[in-house]
Structure 1
Amino acid sequence: MNIFAKAAQLEEQNTPFALANIIETRGSAPRHSGQMIVKSDGAIIGTVGGGMIERYVIEQSLEALQERKPRVVKGRMTRTGPEAMGMDCGGAMSVFIDVYGLRPNLILIGAGHVNRAVAHAAHVLGFDITVADAYADSLAEENFPAGTKRVQGQTMEDAIDQLDINKDSYVVIATNHQDQDAITKVVDCDTKYTGLMASRRKVQTLFNHLRSCNVSEAHIQAIHSPVGFNIGAETPEEIAISIMGEILKVKNQAAGGQMKDDTRLNRNKLVMIRGAGDIATGVAIRLHNAGFKVVMTDISQPTVIRCTVAFAQCLYGESVEVEGVKAQKAITTEDVFRILDNKQIPVLVDEECASIDKLKPTFLIDAILAKRNLGTRRDMAPITIALGPGFTAGIDCDAVIETNRGHYMGRVIYNGATQPNTGIPGNIAGYTHQRVLRAPCEGIMHNHVKLGDIVEEGDVIAHVGDTPVIAPLGGMVRGLLNEGLTVTDGFKIGDIDPRGIEADFTTVSDKARAIGGSVLEAMLHLEQTTLN
């Protein structure tokens, strides 16, 4: 059997392998033409010349199989210099490596009408298909596309035991009466995708059964059920398209949804928020959960103190998650759209809001909370909203939100300004300005505690330069500036919550949540009155 016939056999069996082919040589190369198959275990068939160059091609072939991508590798048969192979021939060689036998593995549990339709849909999409059932008639060869592997067991559980379900498998369970047995066997398997065909009511019954079997909630929530996309599918063929659409979304790591709703094309749901502190983050989470696409901007080293609930922490290199919503640092416009596609919030370093010209959001929210306008204009976006003092609705924004605690907090103002800044922090357990930590001098912050720590009055919280910052009262450290930042005399560097262990430093504050709701109200109102 020649090497190409062997390659065809391996491809038909869906056995992973790389095919290395010499495409160019110069000088005294060991071979000037040749092919070599490299299997995933390192075994080879054929040769590209032997010696160090061949070892290098084998290593590169195994890497290509891991990445599932082709590549070109080059080597020079010299002892030194670029691409040297430690050989004395003096020639050079280029080898093209392509990868095969990597068809995605689709396992269908149940050989009824739906999974038969799924098999036919998946066949033309290049999947390697295995179907399992306990009924021989259901597994008849004519029910499935050519090449489908059919597995029969005495019971459905016995059939599943014969399957090779692994981390690269896509599994669809569609049985008549054995779905509980099937999902119980499969739920703990590590797969790319596990889909279960069931009604919403039956899903709850099956999931409760799994919980009674001590299956982890994480494994239960990973099940795609009810399975597929909601496209009003009724026939087996329509349901198959729905299921394969969902599988392709997972396989291709795509966002899903309608193409016309892609944020790159349709900016109607795109919101830019200036500032990424704790209040801005509360606003962002509320808008994100309401279906808006949110982008945030801030300075390169934000001076936020409630770091555990501020997406600004992304700009210090951390991945941030608050109340189940994730944010990532973005560098370019493409980064922004990639992160949005992953249903996360991108955060840009952009103090001047220069990226607004490229992103063209429908909504601009100034949530810097600087008590003055730092450059936001009403004409920067179709709808502009600002938070707190320093703005006048109707002049430099379309609406402004009251941020002072009290009866009017969260009020949406469409004409005029908010209350002036009182300079007094919100009252918590009878404490206002007493709970705020300020820098005793100019210098660099060095922290001695972390967020969430319980401290007593008189404890050393941090140093600014050589000067200690002393706790003015006992309680929980709910806010603290990032380590190593340079601060000025009197700068707010932290706060202590006198409620102690009853305080919560990990979730959005009541104030941020209320203001977020007001921003959403203003956006929806202005969308109706301004854009329509």
Structure 2
Amino acid sequence: MSNEIYEMASDLILQGEPFATVTVVRNEAPSSGKTGDKAIVNKTGVLKGWVGGGCVYSIVLKEVTEALDDGKPRLVRVSPTPSNEPSRGVKEYKMTCYSGGEVDLYIEPVMPKPHLVIIGKSIIGRALMKAAKAIDFRLTVINEESNQEVFPEADHHQTAFNLEGISFNKHTFIVVATQGDNDERGLQTALGVKCRYVGFIASRKKRDGVFANLLNLGLSQAQLDEVHAPAGIDINGKTPQEVAISILAEIIQEYRSKEVAFESFSVPIAASGQQRSDLQSGRPQIITNPVCGMPISLGMAKYIIEQNGEPIYFCCDGCKTKFDAEPEKYLMKVEKV
């Protein structure tokens, strides 16, 4: 891989963003992708590297999107003559490019480490940082004293009580570890975003008092019902380290035992840039060409026509010509965007 690909992979890992590596493991001429060619594709469909032309690109986007959803690698074959009985474990697509050729692509998702956001600086919070770091969690610490010298375990420090610039996905967890120091403020911050787990370190009596204050401040009971409070599995822990282990055990249980549908997002910072026009919710938009059955990224369609008020997308001249000759044959296969 070129240095640019390695740099992109390193940056995505540091940012906690999922991506996939794509490698041409076999080719037959005259395919433009050659054995050994590599690329990296991030969750929004940005590709760095080279594995083939437009036909292959759209297939790669579709398969990468699915791989990042299920976390599983896959072997994909693009061939002018796909088999009616493909080999086990191989997903086949028809090569529609006039240049022809055949490529086998190995797509491997690289999923982010679980990400723990700790709001506060309590003793239990500090013990939780150490325990989470020991099992390779990515750590963000939010409190007014957060810096590398005071909290060396953290990967990211934030002194303002907000979540600006932090990326959230199904691997992100928040624990409010304020323990009497800005409890309401910490929980308001945590509940200001959608997150699959929010824990609050407090006794039941303290929880009830803080929750009552938050209801008076305008938070809903439904929001508070989402909070794990007291945070952690009840193991009768007494020391800060034992309580930290109980909290981490609850997070691991949530992380390992449930598959959740969660749309990744980043909390915007002021003056954030515009997203690409062919993206929706940060994901590539893929639709099927009604003629050849190939997946097409909407931003890569060669032709777009309108029929009965609906756009129809084509990947090449040949498909549009066939549609124009017999539109009734293909109209039933048209997907709505």
Compute the TM-score of the two structures, normalised by the length of structure 1. 0.43
* Contact persistence 1:165–1:189 (CA under 8 A): no
Report % sequence identity. 27
Match of 2:47 among 41, 44, 48: 44
State the AA in 2 paired with 1:164: I
Residues 428-439 of structure 1 aligned to structure 2 (within 5 Å)? none
Determine if the alignment matches structure 1 residue 180 to structure 2 residue 184.
Answer: yes
Q: Of residues 134, 151, 159 in structure 1, which corresponds to 2:158?
A: 151
Distance of 2:145 and 2:6 partners within structure 1: 39
| Separation in structure 2 between the aligned mates of residue 35 and residue 186 of structure 1, nearest angstrom | 39
Structure 1 position 142, deviation (Å): 5.2
Distance (whole Å) between structure 1 residues aligned to residue 46 and residue 167 of structure 2: 24
> For the Cα contact (< 8 Å) 1:108–1:115, is it kept in 2?
yes
Q: 2:162 and 2:195 mapped to 1: Cα distance?
A: 14
Q: For 2:83 and 2:235, how far apart are their aligned partners in 1?
A: 62
2:210 is matched with which residue?
206
Q: Report the Cα offset of residue 27 of structure 1.
A: 4.9
Secondary structure of 1:143's aligned partner:
coil
Residue 141 of structure 1 corresponds to 149
Structure 1 residues 144 and 209, CA gap change in structure 2 (3 angstroms)? same
Tell whether 2:39 aligns with 1:12: no
Q: Is the CA contact (8 Å cut-off) linking 1:69 and 1:98 kept in structure 2? A: yes
Structure 1 residue runs without a partner (length 5+): 154-158, 255-532
Structure 1, residues 182-213: CA drift from partner, whole Å, max 9, x if none? 11332343111000001111011112222223
Q: Secondary structure, in 3 states, of the residue corresponding to 1:42?
A: coil
**Aligned partners of 1:114, 1:250: CA distance in 2, in Å?**
20
Q: Which amino acid aligns with 1:10?
A: L
Q: Deviations over 1:73-101 (max 9, x none)?
A: 22114599762121244432221111225
Distance 2:13 2:229 in 1: 33
Q: Are the counterparts in 1 of residues 95 and 102 from structure 2 also a CA contact under 8 Å? A: no
**CA offset digits 1:347-392 (Å, max 9, x no partner):** xxxxxxxxxxxxxxxxxxxxxxxxxxxxxxxxxxxxxxxxxxxxxx
SS at match of 2:104: strand
**Contact residue 188 and residue 215 of structure 1 kept, 8 A:** no
Structure-1 separation of matches of 2:97 and 2:135? 45
Q: 1:71 to 1:111 in 2, by over 3 A?
A: farther
**Does the C-alpha gap of structure 1 residues 242 and 202 become closer, same or farther in structure 2, counting only changes over 3 Å?**
same
How well do the aligned residues superpose, as a CA RMSD in angstroms? 2.5
Rounded Cα–Cα distance in structure 1 between residues aligned with 2:83 and 2:110: 34
CA distance in 1, matches of 2:167, 2:49: 32
CA contact (8 A) 2:26 2:103 kept: yes
The amino acid across from 2:43 in the alignment is S
Counterparts of 1:59-74 in structure 2 under 5 Å?
59-74=62-77
Aligned residue pairs, count = 246
Which blocks of at least 5 consecutive residues in structure 2 are unaligned? 85-91, 259-337
| Alpha-carbon distance in structure 1 between the residues aligned to 2:250 and 2:82 | 52
TM-score by length of 2: 0.66
Q: Counterpart of 1:171?
A: 174
Give the AA of the match of 2:238: E
Give the equivalent residue in structure 2 for 1:197.
201
Query: Letter of the aligned partner of 2:46 in structure 1?
Result: A
Shift in Å, 1:67? 2.9
- 1:247 maps to what in 2? 251
Q: How does 1:117-516 map to 2 (within 5 A)?
A: 117-135=127-145, 139-141=147-149, 143-145=151-153, 148-153=155-160, 159-162=161-164, 164=166, 166=168, 168=170, 169-176=172-179, 177-253=181-257
What CA distance in whole angstroms lies between the structure 2 residues aligned with 1:206 and 1:163? 27
The match for 1:284 is none
Tell me which of 21, 45, 57 is aligned to 2:60: 57
| Aligned-partner Cα distance in 2 for 1:142–1:134 | 11
Write out per-residue CA displacement over residues 150-179 of structure 1, whole angstroms, 9 at most, x where no aligned residue.
1113xxxxx225363745331000114211
- The corresponding residue for 2:27 is 25
Aligned residue number for residue 333 of structure 1:
none
- Once the two structures are TM-superposed, the CA of residue 225 in structure 1 deviates from its matched residue by 0.4
| Closer/same/farther in 2, CA of residues 58 and 76 from structure 1, 3 Å limit | same
Please state whether the residue corresponding to 1:83 is helix, strand or coil.
strand
Offset, 1:111: 2.5
Over 3 Å counting, the alpha-carbon distance change for 1:35 and 1:163 in structure 2 is closer
Task: Tell me, in whole angstroms, the C-alpha distance in 2 between the residues paired with 1:100 and 1:204.
Answer: 41
> What is the Cα deviation at residue 244 of structure 1?
0.7
DSSP-derived class of the 1:230 partner: coil
**Secondary structure, aligned partner of 1:231:** coil
Quote the residue 1:84 is aligned against: 94
What is the alpha-carbon distance in structure 1 between the residues aligned to residue 27 and residue 164 of structure 2? 48
Cα distance in 2 for residues equivalent to 1:166 and 1:215: 21
